[in-house]
Amino acid sequence: MSCLLIPALLFAVSCGHGKKGASAGMKGMVKEYNVMEINTQSTTLYKEYPAVLEGQQTVEIRPKIAGYIEQILVDEGANVKKGQLLFRLNNKDLQAVVRSSEAQVKVAEADVYTAQINLEKTKPLVEKSIVSKFDLQSVESTLQAKEAQRAQAVANLENAKESLQYASITSPADGTIGTFPYRIGSLVNSSIAEPLTTVSNTNNIYSYFSLNEKDFLLLMKGLAGTNTQEKLKKLPGVQLILADNTPYDHFGKIDAASGLVDQKTGAVTMRATFPNTERLLRSGGSGQIRIPQMLDSAIIIPQKATYELQGKRFVFVVTPDNKAHATEIQVLVGNLKDTYVVTDGLKVGDKIVMEGIISLRNDMEIEPKVVDSGNLSENTNPADKTHN
């Protein structure tokens, strides 16, 4: 009897070892994945909008009279002051007109003097009835005519002097000189197609950009004030990213918004003003306006933890039974470095797979390893970006 029990016990023991070995083998096939536990962080998102730069005041310089350019007294791109001489037109003909007008004034004054003498001589003769009152009226009319001729001669002289002044063209404002389409010797007049140059007052630079209607409403929402102007004053400073992708040293302020939404583009035109003390910014330049959006409690995840399918974005959320479940999320794309801000689909305490998601299938069993995700709220350096 004992001889029969011993083989049975040995068989049972061997079968037990076989089952444990199989379980251990199956467990070893479950792959380990790094996961992060969702929490919130404070961050600032930035949105960028293409912008065109204009000087605070841009004035076209055009001649008021016809003439040949005799002198150009400044260079292109120079900074000038109000009243500074820029161009001088040939004025010899104008000087001759002034001299002729001065002579005409003298002749007219002599005629008036003669008419006054005749009047003084005629009055006593009328009193003595030597000449008629009609003769007196004739002399008086002659004096009035000569005085009118003198006034006309004086007006002509003033016009001639003014035209002579127009031959010297000065700057109407402080600013920066533009280009010169006409050179010395060119014949110009008040109806030329292009101005002689422009003067741009660039002490402050206006940066014009457009927001779509949705972004405009989001920007204004929650700001204190009873109208747009009051709300704009509550906005934080904005940054200008220059054409070389570097940030401008001075922050600007959004201070104006168009009252209409463009029906063709659905956009609202905005204006931000930047100081230009170093004269680095120029009219006609371009850049990007960066508008900050403060987020106090944001869920931020790495971009590499997400994937896109049919226009939707997903992550793998680890379930209580350690399965990776594909979950759709909504995100904000800003200037965060390789991360997204999640607006829907995740909550604090959830765990998501951080990397290697390409090898996962929905509801695949994994062995999660919680790791520290670190600071995910770092912003991208504009210099690292490439703008077309």
Look at residue 327 and tell me whether its pLDDT is greater than 50: yes
Q: What is the per-residue pLDDT for 28?
A: 55
End-to-end CA, the chain? 92
- Is residue 79 domain-resident? no
- Is residue 213 domain-resident? yes
Residue type, 190: S
Residue type, 346: L
Tokens of 358: 């390409």
Q: Shortest CA distance to 377 belongs to which of 44, 15, 10? A: 44
CA angle 209, 212, 215 (to 5 degrees): 100
* Residue 163 pLDDT grade (very low, low, confident, very high; cuts 50, 70, 90): confident
> pLDDT of 215-246, one tens digit each?
888 788 778 888 888 888 888 899 999 999 99
Residues 325 and 257 occupy one common structural domain: no
- Is residue 261 domain-resident? yes
Residues 263 and 301 occupy one common structural domain: no
Q: What is the per-residue pLDDT for 11?
A: 43
- Average pLDDT of 9-34? 56
Q: What is the per-residue pLDDT for 182?
A: 95
Output the average pLDDT for the chain: 85
pLDDT higher at 10 or 354:
354
- Is residue 74 domain-resident? no
Q: Rounded CA gap, 363 and 175, in Å?
A: 68
Answer with the one of 251, 271, 294 that is the final residue of a domain.
294
With beta carbons less than 8 A apart as the criterion, state whether 86 and 224 touch.
no
Burial profile 235-264: b = 16 or more Cβ within 10 angstroms, e = fewer: beebbbbbeeeebbebebbbebbeeeeeee
Tokens of 145: 């005519």
Tokens of 294: 């403060």
> pLDDT of 102-132, one tens digit each?
999 999 999 889 888 888 887 787 777 777 7
High-pLDDT (> 70) share of the chain, %: 89
* Residue 322 pLDDT grade (very low, low, confident, very high; cuts 50, 70, 90): very high
Q: What is the per-residue pLDDT for 383?
A: 53
pLDDT higher at 242 or 133:
242
Q: What is the per-residue pLDDT for 180?
A: 95
With beta carbons less than 8 A apart as the criterion, state whether 353 and 35 touch.
yes
Residues 289 and 376 occupy one common structural domain: no
Residue type, 328: E
- Average pLDDT of 30-41? 93
Q: Using alpha carbons only, how large is the chain's radius of gyration in Å?
A: 43
* Residue 4 pLDDT grade (very low, low, confident, very high; cuts 50, 70, 90): very low
Residues 310 and 231 occupy one common structural domain: no
Look at residue 380 and tell me whether its pLDDT is greater than 80: no
> pLDDT of 267-286, one tens digit each?
999 999 999 988 898 888 99
Residues 275 and 364 occupy one common structural domain: no
Q: Other CB atoms closer than 10 Å to residue 315's CB: what's the count?
A: 26
Q: How many domains, in total, are found in the chain?
A: 3
Q: Rounded CA gap, 231 and 217, in Å?
A: 12
Look at residue 312 and tell me whether its pLDDT is greater than 70: yes
Look at residue 386 and tell me whether its pLDDT is greater than 90: no
> pLDDT of 142-154, one tens digit each?
889 989 999 999 9
Tokens of 137: 């009226």
> What 3-state DSSP class applies to 163?
helix
> pLDDT of 167-216, one tens digit each?
999 999 888 898 999 999 999 998 999 999 999 888 899 999 999 888 88
Q: What is the per-residue pLDDT for 3?
A: 43
Which uninterrupted H or E stretch holds 73?
none
Tokens of 310: 């049919």
Q: Decide: pTM greater than 0.75.
A: no
Look at residue 294 and tell me whether its pLDDT is greater than 80: no
- Is residue 22 domain-resident? no
- Average pLDDT of 89-105? 89
Residues 234 and 313 occupy one common structural domain: no
Q: Shortest CA distance to 49 belongs to which of 382, 289, 386, 271? A: 289
Q: What is the per-residue pLDDT for 19?
A: 45
- Average pLDDT of 11-20? 46
- Is residue 140 domain-resident? yes
Domain residues for the domain of 336 are 32-44+297-384
pLDDT higher at 357 or 376:
357
Domain holding 120: CATH number? 1.10.287.470
E-state strands within the chain: 32-37, 40-61, 67-72, 79-80, 85-89, 168-170, 175-177, 187-188, 197-212, 239-241, 253-257, 267-275, 286-302, 307-309, 312-318, 323-332, 339-344, 351-353, 364-365, 367-370
